[in-house]
Amino acid sequence: MSTRERKRRFDALFASYGSDIVAYCTWRSGSTSDAQDAAADVFLTAWRRLDEVPEGDAARVWLYATARRVLANQRRSSRRRQALHERLAAEEASGAAEQQSPDETLVHEALRLLPAIDREVLLLAEWEGLSPAQIAAVLGCRRVTARGRLHRARRRFRMAFEELRDGQRRPTSIQVSQRRIHEHV
């Protein structure tokens, strides 16, 4: 592939899936700056390994799977700066509290109550629009497993949301930012 072809393909890749990967990194990493760094890392990886990136919609799944690994590495390295991380999280939480609607707070609180894998499967389906087959490819599990997890995650989310809404379950905090929720993913 010539350099010009590589650039063309890379541009098309970003145009088609850039916002998907940024969205995924946003809800997985929690802070905008971490999400930007992770998304940029994903596309730098894609540039370096462009020949390995599959064609068509499979490229989207490839990018999500890469983003998942990039975020895992980012999280491991970020443990060294956890104190700073937590302080920033608290600051962001207070900022987010002003912006979130009551519904959003309920959603984030309900998501936080889910097991990490359920949360990830649910959001890959509901926010990223992936099919169970694509989720299976991203997570590296069997299709039937992804389908089962998704069914369970939807049921658990709905129950958690309704319990919180009806006051049967106390929120663990009054306002929860996305950052704090998705640290657990």
Partner 1 sequence: MSTSESFEALHRANPRSNTGFAKTVDSVQAQISTAEAVPVHPAGRRRAGLVRLAAVGTALAVAAGVAALTVRSPGGGPGVDDAAAVVNKAAAVTANAAERSGTAAVRITHDGELWAGSTIRWYDGDLSVSRDAPDRRGRAGAHLLLVSGTLYGFEEGHWVIFGDPANIDPGSGTTPDEYVAAVREDVGGMTLRRIAGRVTGLTVTRPGNGSTVYQGKIAAGVIARETGFKDGEAIRVLPFGYVAHDEAANGSALLDVAVTVGADGVVRQISVSWGTWDYTVTYGSLGSASALAAPKNARDLVKERLRAVGRG
DSSP state of 53: S
Give the x-and-dash track for 57-76 against partner 1 (CB under 8 A): xx------------------
19 belongs to the binding site for partner 1 (CB under 8 A): yes
120 belongs to the binding site for partner 1 (CB under 8 A): no
Among residues 66, 74, 175, 178, which is the contact residue for partner 1, using CB under 8 A? 178
110 belongs to the binding site for partner 1 (CB under 8 A): yes
By CB under 8 A, the residues from 127 to 166 that bind partner 1 are: 127, 129, 154, 157-158, 161-162, 165
Longest C-alpha distance within the chain, in Å?
Answer: 61
What residue type is 72 in one-letter code? A
Among residues 106, 136, 139, 185, which is the contact residue for partner 1, using CB under 8 A? 106
Q: Is 23 exposed, middle or buried (0-12, 13-18, 19+ CB in 10 A)?
A: middle
What's the token pair of residue 89?
């999280």
